[in-house]
Structure 1
Amino acid sequence: MKLSTKLFAGFTIVSFIFMAVTFINYNLSQDVLESSAWVGQSQIITRNSSSLQRNITDMENGLRGYLLTGQEEFLEPYTASKDQIPPLMRSMEKMVANSPEQVDYLQKINLLHNRWLNEFAEQLIAEKRNDMALNPNSGLSGLKTAGKLRAKFGKQLTDSVRVLFKEFNYYEYRVRDARTERLNQAINYTRNVSTALTIFSVLLGFAWAWYITRLISGRISTMVKLADKISKGDYKTQIADPEHDELSKLSASLNVMASTIDRNITELERKNKELDQYAYVISHDLKAPLRGIENASRWIEEDMGRDLPHGIQEYLMMMRVRVHRMENLINGILDLARIGRTKKMEELVDVRQLVVEIIDMLSVPSNFRIEIPTEMPHIYTVRIYLEQVFSNLLSNAIKYNDKPEGLIKVSYIESTQYYTFSISDNGPGIDPEYHDRIFVIFQTLQERDAMESTGVGLAIVKKILERQGGTINVQSEPGKGATFTFNWPKIPLQETNSFIGSN
């Protein structure tokens, strides 16, 4: 399965769960809303029931007051309630239409109230009015329906109505409590289901993200390890990747790169061996005639002895000098080519002790004074590289000095990344236009007959420092000496290799 398919599958699953959560929440919320609406309607029903019962009571009180006093003002609440009861009754019948029990209660209440109204209240009011028209001070005894009053006909009807209202309200409260309980259960169930599904979807999302992350990071880590092995010289390593997805292409590319580098390195090693052999043969073949020329010049001197003309003797001496120069040039070229070709072990180097040993080997003339710091750093590096840089710079400072009393100063400063060394002399100095030229191979500022030099030493120094990740520069003016400054990295740019340099 491709990596993109896995990512899409995880996204689809999580999205589906969220959709399911939304759908379930919607359905549960509908149930909650329905129950909430029913509870709200039940509250309206009980409120209307109370209002209806209060209006009936107001009619009773208004009727009683009128019968006792004969004053029409007592009929005002009676009349108002009489007008309000029918619409209230119709409204309640609509609201309880789905409950046969409640409908039955309302029908009974309506029936009893109509009997009380038509068979009792309205008759009494009409008789009372007629009686009051004839005799304003008349009482109740003269009314035709006075018997019903004595028989408590109206009270029985109103008591029955109150009982029905009580049963109606009791039933409504009981159903409302059940609905309220159902509402609470629905809310709790909705909350629990939503929480559970949400937690499950989040955990699933995290689990899938963790799986994809581990999958990608693990494979990338494998590729990084391969790249690290390649950087350390293990070019035969390969990545086994059976997934056949997008990252497999990168793995395949890395495997191809490793194989290509391995082939190129193998070919390069073969070429280097051929070059080493070629250099040895060339060196041997070039030096052999030079040694023959030198030997021939000495044989001529020995054979002719004192008969050898002075001019010829000078030519023979010049010939040998040129032969030695040629040998040094050949050695310098070979030394320059060997830099970085073979590995050298690093060690802890006492730089001050190294400089002291180099000065001892250079056989410094008696008219020279070399000043070195009492404290110099200890560097973990390849000793021979640092030795060659100091040796070339110090020997040049001695060789080209034209003062009766030569002075060379060695100093250093330390920064976060480099040790910066400086070698200053009081020699003839170097014109700024030649500052870059002196680091080019075979370039010298004096005629070789005037000063023996191959022009390779500073080229070797520059190459060593470049391979280490350092730099070198010169500050000088004619007649004011020269200062060569080079940076030696605390952490080399790359593994450096052995060399032998000569000037």
Structure 2
Amino acid sequence: MRLNLNTKILLGFAVAAGVLLLTAIASFLSIRQLAVQTRHVEHTYRVIQEAEQLTSRVRDAESRVRGFLLTADTSYLQTYESSQGEVEQSFARLKQLTIDNPQQAARVDSMQQLVGQKFRNMRLLLDQNRSVTSSSTQTILDTGRQTMRAIAALFEGIKQDELTLLAERNRQQNLYETIAPITIILSATLAILITLWLFQKISREIAANDRLRQELETINHDTSQRIQIIENLANQVVQGDYKVKIKDKEKDSLGNLATSLNRMTQTLDDTFGALQNRNRELDQFAYVTSHDLKAPLRGVMTVVKWIEDELTSELSEQMRQYLGMMKGRLVRLEDLINGLLAYARIGRTEQKLELVQVRQLVEEVRDMVVPPEFHLDIATALPQLLTDRLSLQQVFTNLLSNAVKYHHRGQGTITVRCTEAKKEYEFTVADDGPGIAPEYHEKIFLIFQTLRDRNTAESTGIGLSIVKKILDEQKSTIRVESAPGQGTAFIFTWPKVSVTEKAS
């Protein structure tokens, strides 16, 4: 597993810190042991010194007693008394110093007993109330010499043991005096080597990262330029330019995408070229068809009028009824042709943007399709739009004419309202007619779908299909809210910014 740079830095510093910590611990332990051994050496010297001073004071006390016995000078006794007190203090200190060494403590106890016996013998020599013969004096002196030799032997034993300890402790002290600086130097050297190695690794990583960053910046710059070229192609395709091509020969994902986009634009160019040819043929067909169909229709209508005008007296009531039905069928056929032409042209004619006062437009439509028997209630707060006037006029024309055409009483009230949303307006065209059952709410927007008898002249079934197609072109919606006997409300949305304006 390859570690990243931050992990390597943290790991390296952790190792260096660990080595420094171990160095500090090793140095501390070495220095502490050195201090312990130094204290032990000092302790040995103090034991030897205290034992020597004690033995010296005992000999000094003995010499003072002998001086008094030879000269009878009482000044020797004063020194004797002070020596005895100092000996007792020396024993107290020596016991304290040898408390951790049972063997030496036993020797000190034995030595204290002998010294006590030595001082008792000396007190016998100094006792002037008893009669002292020369033989008894000699005995006391011999005993004192033997006691002194025993004391000296104990002192030598104490001294030899302490010298042995001193030699070992000096060896330990010298060892730690050598180990401590070596440990510090080795640990510091190791820490320095680790730090230098870490610094070298980090420097290499940083240099490699810098090179990689520069390479990535170069690749990112090139990729951004290539993506920008692809975005420009997409924008040109959206605007209808299908001949644009990308010159990208790289053998990577973007190069493959560029090749695919070039094929796509070529296909779109071919397809839309063919579609334009089909549209021109369809326009020509619609024009020719409408012209060729309307001419015979008008001719037949003229013949029917001639028959009615010239043969009025000869026509029976049944014949007049047949002629009326024929005229109705001819009018319906012409309405169908006009409706089909209007439906086919939606979305294929150029929209002309202009500023439209919606209330004024609805009033103009009212004058064209709403008879005086109907009352049109128009909201005052209708908006002003920059849009294609003809498309919006067709929507209101079809909805208002349907409200009149399918009213069951021949008179009524139609209302037009508007509410504003975030990106669109919602218009409502409602009437108080017979209403529409819920099962027909979707079917009425299909072409040729009508709720009235197909023999009725006005029922072509194209009006709401035209409305639906116009609103689809504007990316808008329409729905119906109605129930039998409760009137009908058509609710449609219209964008604040038209599709044509967005494209431009």
What range describes the TM-score normalised by the shorter chain of this pair? 0.5 to 0.7
**Out of 333, 337, 353, which is 1:346 matched to?**
353
Aligned residue pairs: how many?
409
The one-letter code sitting in structure 2 at the alignment partner of 1:456 is: I
Closer, same or farther in 2 for the Cα pair 1:275/1:77, shift >3 Å?
A: farther
Shift of 1:391: 0.7
Equivalent position of 2:329 in the other structure: 322
SS at match of 1:483: strand
- For the 8 Å contact 1:425–1:481, the answer to whether it is kept is yes
Closer, same or farther in 2 for the Cα pair 1:25/1:197, shift >3 Å?
A: farther
Is 2:241 the counterpart of 1:234?
A: yes
**Out of 278, 281, 284, which is 2:291 matched to?**
284
Q: Deviations over 1:143-168 (max 9, x none)?
A: xxxxxxxxxxxxxxxxxxxxxxxxxx
- For the 8 Å contact 1:59–1:82, the answer to whether it is kept is no
- For the 8 Å contact 1:403–1:426, the answer to whether it is kept is no
Equivalent position of 2:266 in the other structure: 259
Closer, same or farther in 2 for the Cα pair 1:40/1:321, shift >3 Å?
A: same
Structure 1 range deviating more: 233-242 or 69-78: 69-78
SS at match of 1:371: strand
Q: Please list, as runs of the form range in 1=range in 2, the aligned pairs for 1:56-455 lying within 5 A after superposition.
A: 57-58=45-46, 61-62=49-50, 64-65=52-53, 68-69=56-57, 78-88=159-169, 90-91=171-172, 214=221, 219-300=226-307, 311-362=318-369, 364-403=370-409, 405-455=411-461
- TM-score by structure 2 length? 0.66
The one-letter code sitting in structure 2 at the alignment partner of 1:323 is: L
**Out of 471, 484, 501, which is 2:477 matched to?**
471
- For the 8 Å contact 2:450–2:461, the answer to whether it is kept is yes
Shift of 1:222: 4.1
Distance 1:489 1:82 in 2: 112
Q: Deviations over 1:50-79 (max 9, x none)?
A: 357536634752564365245677668744
Distance 2:404 2:466 in 1: 18
- For the 8 Å contact 1:340–1:496, the answer to whether it is kept is no
Equivalent position of 2:487 in the other structure: 481
SS at match of 1:396: helix
Equivalent position of 2:64 in the other structure: none
Shift of 1:492: 5.4
Distance 1:401 1:337 in 2: 28
Closer, same or farther in 2 for the Cα pair 1:212/1:38, shift >3 Å?
A: farther
Distance 2:201 2:54 in 1: 64
- For the 8 Å contact 2:242–2:268, the answer to whether it is kept is yes
Shift of 1:376: 1.0
Closer, same or farther in 2 for the Cα pair 1:23/1:437, shift >3 Å?
A: closer
The one-letter code sitting in structure 1 at the alignment partner of 2:366 is: I
- For the 8 Å contact 1:427–1:482, the answer to whether it is kept is yes
Structure 1 range deviating more: 22-31 or 46-55: 22-31
Shift of 1:372: 0.4
Closer, same or farther in 2 for the Cα pair 1:190/1:357, shift >3 Å?
A: same
Closer, same or farther in 2 for the Cα pair 1:240/1:58, shift >3 Å?
A: farther
* Identical columns (%): 37
Shift of 1:283: 2.2
Shift of 1:370: 0.9
Structure 1 range deviating more: 84-93 or 252-261: 84-93
The one-letter code sitting in structure 2 at the alignment partner of 1:292 is: G
Distance 2:242 2:302 in 1: 51
Q: Deviations over 1:257-279 (max 9, x none)?
A: 23322222222222222222222
- For the 8 Å contact 2:41–2:169, the answer to whether it is kept is no
Distance 1:372 1:320 in 2: 36
- For the 8 Å contact 1:407–1:425, the answer to whether it is kept is yes
- For the 8 Å contact 1:336–1:460, the answer to whether it is kept is yes
Equivalent position of 1:43 in the other structure: 31
Closer, same or farther in 2 for the Cα pair 1:496/1:354, shift >3 Å?
A: farther
Distance 2:343 2:15 in 1: 85
Distance 1:390 1:442 in 2: 19
Distance 1:405 1:450 in 2: 19
Structure 1 range deviating more: 374-383 or 34-43: 34-43
Distance 2:502 2:435 in 1: 32
SS at match of 1:380: strand
The one-letter code sitting in structure 2 at the alignment partner of 1:282 is: T
Distance 1:477 1:184 in 2: 91
SS at match of 1:474: strand
Shift of 1:486: 1.8
Distance 2:159 2:211 in 1: 70
Structure 1 range deviating more: 33-42 or 231-240: 33-42
Shift of 1:182: 6.3
Q: Deviations over 1:214-251 (max 9, x none)?
A: 55555445434433433332322333334322333333
Closer, same or farther in 2 for the Cα pair 1:446/1:20, shift >3 Å?
A: closer
Is 2:448 the counterpart of 1:460?
A: no
- For the 8 Å contact 1:470–1:487, the answer to whether it is kept is yes
Equivalent position of 1:131 in the other structure: none
Closer, same or farther in 2 for the Cα pair 1:416/1:72, shift >3 Å?
A: farther
Structure 1 range deviating more: 449-458 or 367-376: 449-458
Distance 2:259 2:420 in 1: 46
Shift of 1:389: 0.7
- For the 8 Å contact 1:402–1:427, the answer to whether it is kept is yes
- For the 8 Å contact 1:29–1:190, the answer to whether it is kept is no
Shift of 1:480: 3.5
Is there any run of 5+ residues in structure 1 with no aligned partner, and where? 1-13, 99-172, 498-503
The one-letter code sitting in structure 2 at the alignment partner of 1:387 is: Q
SS at match of 2:49: helix
SS at match of 1:446: coil
Shift of 1:396: 1.5
The alignment's C-alpha RMSD in Å is 4.4
